[in-house]
């Protein structure tokens, strides 16, 4: 199988799987238990927290484990609105956030919040000035993702956070960093964000574990789950120890060679751009600069993306038609770019990881060319 869908999820490297298996087999004690094995597990969980916090560049006590990136997004939005419930009931977000954010904002709208959705420019980039001009004195929260999961654009979150603090010091700032964490240079500590969401399965960790950074401006944050008081009383539920161990191992592996992986993926993306430009009718949708190196969206203009994905799948090549969350219809992100319908319905996403090779790209480019030559355009 040729796997080019790392933005949907990533393979789990052996050291990560081995770490998890060891915890499942040998270290099954509950970290809340009083006996020695439980206390040892408690210390282990805190060490794993330190590893993930170091990768995100924040203090470990600011980081709570969650069950996934979606949970982190939901929690951040609810906690920010709760904290600023006396400030106002207005939220600003880009219109190209992940559905985990957008669907939560719909909830908030049902709870009488007003949301201003800031559209991207035609190249998918987001203008910090436009975001800031949407902020009002009653804005409780601004939410802008770090890297767009369909296009790969890296958004100016540090600039937005800094200017927001200067002009509206009470407004809180959340960034969904699920696609940017350990993919582009980023520090939770210096970003100016009050909330940062990450997820393990995009960086070679297991599914079912993520984390939320809550900055020190958010004193006494609203807990997500009441109960046994785990995660400093913020998110109850017995810790998913094997998943946390896998998350920490994946973060350690990725952060150990971050600049090397960044350089290799950037080179691979440039190679893919050159190789794919040889395919007739292929149009590049992703930006060429200000982007993460692992995501490349293109359109085989005239050939419906679903058919392309199915045809490549039959040849053992995994790519996606936009985000894995919107299968079957052009996503809200692609729609927001204002592309002509023929292009819009042809958008496919290739995404890479440390295991991707030039041969994988060559095979994908050849399969796209075959699809172009052997199938009639339907759009």
Helix/strand/coil for 222 = coil
- How far apart (Å, rounded) are the C-alpha atoms in residues 197 and 292? 17
Choose, from 21, 68, 325, 364, the residue flagged as catalytic: 325
User: Minimum distance between the CB of residue 351 and ligand PLP, rounded to whole angstroms?
Assistant: 10
E strands, the chain, in order: 2-3, 63-66, 90-94, 114-118, 139-143, 172-176, 195-199, 210-214, 282-284, 295-300, 317-318, 347-351
- Contact between 81 and 93 under an 8 Å Cβ cutoff? The reply is no
Residue numbers at the binding site for ligand PLP (CB under 6 A)? 68-70, 73, 98, 100, 145, 149, 176, 178-179, 199, 201, 210
For residue 176, the minimal CB distance to ligand PLP (Å) is 5
Between 135 and 145, CB nearer to ligand PLP:
145
Looking at the Cβ atoms of 269 and 371, the one nearer to ligand PLP is: 269
Residue whose CB is less far from ligand PLP, 41 or 151: 151
Q: What is the number of the residue whose Cβ is closest to ligand PLP? A: 69
Q: How far apart are CA 8 and CA 167, in angstroms?
A: 36
Distances (CA, A) of 87 to 69, 79, 214: 27, 13, 19
Q: How far is the CB of 370 from ligand PLP (least distance, A)?
A: 29
Strand pairing report for 195-199 and 172-176: parallel
Query: How far is residue 48's CA from residue 36's CA, in Å, rounded to a whole number?
Result: 18
325 is catalytic: yes
Phi, psi of 141 (to 5 degrees): -150, 140
Q: How buried is 127 (Cβ within 10 angstroms: 0-12 exposed, 13-18 middle, 19+ buried)? A: middle
- CA distances to 13, 62, 162 from 249, rounded to whole Å, are 10, 19, 32
Q: How far is CA 305 from CA 4, 8, 33, 66, 70, in A?
A: 15, 16, 52, 33, 26
Q: Which CB atom, from 87 or from 199, has the smaller least distance to ligand PLP?
A: 199
Q: From residue 22, give the alpha-carbon distance in Å to each of 11, 228, 246, 352.
A: 19, 26, 10, 29
Query: Would you please indicate which residues are annotated as catalytic (active-site) residues?
Result: 325
């Amino acid at each position: 199988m040729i796997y080019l869908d790392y933005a949907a999820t990533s393979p789990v490297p052996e050291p990560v799987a081995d770490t998890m298996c060891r915890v499942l087999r040998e270290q099954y004690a509950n970290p809340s238990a009083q006996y020695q094995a439980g206390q040892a597990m408690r210390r282990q969980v805190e060490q794993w927290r330190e590893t993930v916090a170091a990768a995100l560049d924040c203090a470990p006590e600011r980081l709570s484990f969650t069950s996934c990136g979606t949970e982190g997004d939901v929690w951040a939005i609810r906690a920010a609105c709760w904290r600023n419930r006396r400030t106002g009931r207005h939220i600003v977000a880009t219109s190209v956030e992940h559905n985990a954010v957008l669907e939560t904002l719909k909830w908030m709208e049902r709870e009488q919040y007003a949301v201003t959705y800031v559209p991207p420019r035609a190249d998918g980039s987001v203008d910090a000035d436009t975001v800031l001009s949407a902020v009002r004195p009653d804005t409780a929260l601004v939410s802008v993702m770090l890297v767009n999961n369909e296009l790969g654009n890296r958004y100016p979150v540090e600039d937005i956070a800094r200017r927001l603090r200067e002009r509206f010091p009470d407004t809180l700032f959340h960034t969904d960093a699920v696609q940017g964490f350990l993919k582009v240079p980023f520090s939770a500590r210096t970003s100016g964000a009050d909330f940062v969401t990450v997820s393990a399965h995009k960086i070679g960790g297991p599914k079912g574990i993520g984390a939320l950074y809550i900055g020190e401006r958010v004193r006494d944050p609203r807990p997500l789950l009441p109960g046994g008081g785990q995660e400093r009383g913020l998110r109850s539920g017995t810790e998913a120890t094997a998943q946390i161990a896998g998350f920490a191992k994946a973060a350690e592996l990725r952060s150990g060679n971050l600049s090397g992986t960044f350089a290799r993926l950037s080179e691979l993306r440039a190679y893919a751009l050159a190789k794919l430009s040889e395919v007739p009718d292929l149009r590049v949708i992703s930006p060429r600069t200000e982007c993460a190196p692992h995501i490349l969206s293109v359109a085989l203009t005239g050939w419906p993306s679903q058919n392309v994905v199915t045809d490549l799948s039959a040849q053992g090549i995994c790519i996606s038609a936009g985000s894995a969350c919107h299968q079957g219809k052009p996503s809200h992100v692609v729609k927001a770019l204002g592309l002509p319908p023929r292009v819009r319905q042809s958008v496919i996403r290739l995404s890479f990881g440390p295991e991707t090779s030039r041969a994988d790209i060559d095979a994908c480019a050849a399969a796209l060319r075959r699809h172009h030559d052997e199938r009639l355009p339907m759009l």
